[in-house]
Amino acid sequence: MVGSSEASIVCTDVSKSFRRRNIFQSVEFSIKKGVTILAGENGSGKSTLFYILNGTMKPDSGSVSIFGLDPWGSHEAAMKEVSFMLERPSVLGSSSIREHIYWFSAIKGATEENIKDYMHLFGVEYTLSSSFHALSMGEVQLVMLSCYLSCDTPIFMLDEPNSHIDVHKRSIISEAIRDKTRASNSLFLVSTHVFDELLSAADRMLILRKGQLSGADETSGRRTSILRTSDNTVLMAQLKEDFPDTSISGGAIFTSAGIEKCVKAASENSISVFSYFSIPEELRSVYE
């Protein structure tokens, strides 16, 4: 296996259009180990960029390399040690989950025991005897995520792994990705359009917006706190006195106030905080 310290994805001046629609242009980044989140709204081109990185779609211009190899021209060699999970992964609909796990482990080299451990973590071990046709979209997502996280590869590409998943399970996914990264010293590139705890797992964020890519370093700069509470209106009014930028969007409070200050204000007003996390300020306009 290629050493994880050597694992890298490089994207140089990549552009892609469909007919007359420009998806993105002059996209450039270089990433190594750790968790990089590719953030952006639905339709911003995240999946298209993933298809290009995976070598199943050719860019109009520019180049991509995985371990120094072109995934389009040398697909098999470049993707040999990459675990790539589509937003809507292909499944054998008539087979049982148990059968799928057997075939997946045989093809990808993951152990059935590890897959079942992740299924237990995500609370879907009860599906083993079911077929994919009998599962909800969220259950299918968690089963497939259990399979891919069980792989022993230096690179993981996960396209919208938290879609169709409830808030509690999304938090568990975030922790599982971070734990896997630490244990295997691997590289994770994860796309998302959902503002949730997954963002807190990031070492770096790439923001795809209006055809352009920008970066946000998770370890520095000003941050925005996001909270879901039992009374967003009252807490917003309380925070707004000292932080005028405080607002409510999508059932959550967005504010430049620190998490500790927000939680303290909630406690003083007998407001329950259901979830909270923070993101780089650059991401606020994407998720608010």
The residue extents of the domains of the chain are 1-81+153-220, 91-152, 223-287
Of 68, 65, 66, 48, nearest in space to 57 by CA:
48
**pLDDT class of 162 with cuts at 50, 70, 90:** confident
Quote the pLDDT of residue 195. 62
* 12 contact partners, CB below 8 Å, separation of at least 6: 28, 62, 63, 64, 65
Radius of gyration of the chain (CA): 20
This prediction's pTM: 0.79
Residue type at position 177: I
Could you list the beta-strand ranges (E) of 34-103: 34-39, 61-66, 82-85
Q: List the beta bridge partners of residue 254.
A: 226, 247
Q: Quick one: tokens of 175?
A: 């922790």
- On the question of pLDDT at 115 being above 80, the answer is yes
* 218 contact partners, CB below 8 Å, separation of at least 6: 202, 203, 204, 205, 280
**pLDDT class of 208 with cuts at 50, 70, 90:** confident
- On the question of pLDDT at 8 being above 70, the answer is yes
Does the domain formed by 223-287 have CATH 3.30.70.100?
Answer: yes
Average pLDDT, the chain: 87
Quote the pLDDT of residue 233. 96
Quote the pLDDT of residue 281. 77
CA angle 246, 251, 254 (to 5 degrees): 25
The CATH classification number of 1-81+153-220 equals 3.40.50.300
